Amino acid sequence: MIFSQQRKEKKMLFQKKLYFCAPFIFYVFRIIVIFDTVKLKIANMLLRKRSARMKRQKMLYDFASAKYVGVLCSPKDELSTRHLKNFLYHLTQKGIQYSVFGYFDENEIPENFLYWKGLDFITRKDLNFFSIPKNQIAERFIREPFDMLINCTVTQYFPVEYITQLSVAKCKVGIMREGESCYDLMIDIQKNHTIEYFLKNLEIYLANIRYPQFN
């Protein structure tokens, strides 16, 4: 009985502390949200400034005409990784050379990706204060003269968007999203928000494109 009363008093004391701390916690949370918003706005401003200076030749390709393809990804689980590997095998079967660049929104590369040969990955540790990639691996990928760049990252990450927008690839393909886009071809995946659905529909759309187009 005494033990139960003590527990009750401790619980009431905790609730009182929580009640008095709630405004402060809310205030700190708001500051963090505002800070992150301002940081993202500055990052986008820096991106627009750099992208305004870039020049690239635009041309529309299909898998019959493309010889060199860049693939951006951010695999999260075993299933999405399997679909990505199947897609890369599909490119190889078609005689298409490819380069893969991945971003992991964490501090370390997951162990199962450390031995994935031929793929370059970065993590949060490779970003500067504004979430802009700061290593030469990302810069080299940006400057690679791909016929086609395919961003199959389902979740939006600023570092991936940064690389996509600055890439000199002749044709850029990605997921349809709200707002402005740097893509020459966008795939709508609202019905099924998965990499499998994106890659499947990518095949369908590109099958209807015969030869390079645009300027």
Give the tens place of pLDDT for each residue, 4-25. 554 554 455 445 554 555 565 5
Residue type, 81: T
Tell whether the model's pLDDT for residue 163 goes beyond 90: yes
Tell whether the model's pLDDT for residue 172 goes beyond 90: yes
Mean pLDDT of 192-206: 89
CA-to-CA distance for 102 and 195, rounded, in angstroms? 14
pLDDT of residue 93: 93
30 and 127 share a domain? Answer: no
Q: Write the pLDDT tens digit of every residue in 125-149.
A: 999 988 999 989 999 999 999 999 9
What pTM was estimated for this model as a whole?
A: 0.80
Instruction: Give me the domain span that covers residue 88.
Output: 68-207
- Report yes or no on 214 lying in a domain: no
Tokens encoding 147: 């016929």
Residue % of the chain over a pLDDT of 90: 39
Pick the residue with more confidence: 33 or 109?
Answer: 109
Find the CATH number of the domain harbouring 104: 3.40.50.2000
Query: Based on the structure, what is the number of domains in the chain?
Result: 2
Tokens encoding 129: 């204060």
pLDDT category, 91, cuts 50, 70, 90?
very high
CA 142, distance to chain mean position in Å, is 14
Tell whether the model's pLDDT for residue 1 goes beyond 80: no
169 and 194 share a domain? Answer: yes
